[in-house]
Amino acid sequence: MNAESHSSSALLVRLLLGPVRRGTALDRHDFLVGDYVVSLTAPHEPRMPNGVECSVWVAKGSRISIGRGKIVVGRVELSPGPGWDPVPSVGHFEIMPPGPQPLTSSLASWVAEPSLSADAMLSGYVAGLVLLHGMRKRAEAIAQQAAGSIRPLGRTLLHHAARGEVPEPVHVLLAAGDPAPLLAFAGAGMLWLRGLVSAGFPLDPSTTLLSTGRRTLASQLQ
């Protein structure tokens, strides 16, 4: 069975083309290999820098491996198709100076729903440093420092963010200034947006309404 696409990030390609390594299921969409999480995303869902687009789900206890150009999930062998570039193009915006770094020790206070992880806000900030300001060394230092205190998936996405590699909805925001796909993204989109705005993306929150009751995006970003 062939997958539709996979990220061309060196972090994922190294696993895909390297020796066969066993994986451990985290949930229906994600499996862990060493300290890296591979995400299986459904066709037409937003692509991820650590992701492979396919119709396969990860069953708990199933045999999982990656390497030598394929992914094995249970009895299914996936041979990934063409890659996509997880580094977005940035449109012509009047970028603001980056604000203070969000502290991992206080990120939990930003999240109202326990099921969500505030790691996404730090990933947005780190990605903004790279994509908006070219501050890759600072971004990598933040990612390295925070890696030990966050969950495996958040850690994987944070390391991608430090390379300027981000989920597909972030591409739309940075290219066209449209936050709608990001706000609709898996519950964590608002946190990615907060991080990017903190890093200097000049979103005008006063003109954008969030679809949660009467709260505006402006109040969410304050």
Q: Tens digits of per-residue pLDDT, 125-153? A: 999 999 999 999 999 999 999 888 888 99
Environment class of 152 (CB within 10 Å of its CB; exposed 0-12, middle 13-18, buried 19+): middle
Domain range annotation of the chain: 5-84, 104-221
Segment 169-182, tens digit of pLDDT:
999 999 999 999 99
pLDDT tier for residue 204 given thresholds of 50, 70 and 90: low
Q: What percent of the chain has pLDDT over 70?
A: 85
Distance CA(57)–CA(74), nearest Å, equals: 9
Query: How many angstroms separate the CA atoms of 120 and 175, rounded?
Result: 20
What is the share, in percent, of the chain residues with pLDDT greater than 90? 68
- Higher confidence at residue 81 or residue 65? 65
Q: What is this structure's pTM? A: 0.88
* pLDDT at position 213 over 50: no
Q: Would you say residue 214 has pLDDT above 60?
A: no
CA distance 101 to 81: 37
Give me the pLDDT at residue 103, please. 65
Backbone angles phi, psi at 40, to 5 degrees: -100, 115
To the nearest whole number, what is the mean pLDDT of the chain?
A: 86
How many CB atoms lie under 10 A from the CB of residue 113?
A: 7
Residues 67 and 214: their CA atoms lie apart, in Å, by: 48
Strands 5-7 and 51-53: antiparallel
Residues 170 and 123: their CA atoms lie apart, in Å, by 11
- The answer to whether the Cα torsion of 189, 192, 198, 203 is positive or negative is negative
CA atoms in the 13 A half-sphere facing the CB of 179: 25
pLDDT tens digit string along 93-120? 999 999 988 765 555 554 444 445 678 9
Q: CB-side exposure of 203: number of CA atoms within 13 Å?
A: 33
- Residue type, position 62, single letter: S
Per the model's pLDDT, the better-predicted residue between 110 and 26 turns out to be 26
Pick 62 or 131 by higher pLDDT: 131
List the single range of 20-34, 54-68, 104-118 with lowest mean pLDDT: 104-118
Relative to beta strand 36-41, strand 51-53 is parallel
Overall average pLDDT of the 209-221 stretch: 40
Q: How many CA atoms lie within 13 A of 47 on its CB side?
A: 21
Question: What's the pLDDT score for residue 81?
Answer: 87
pLDDT (average), residues 14-18 = 96
H helices present in 62-184, as ranges: 119-133, 136-146, 152-161, 168-176, 180-183
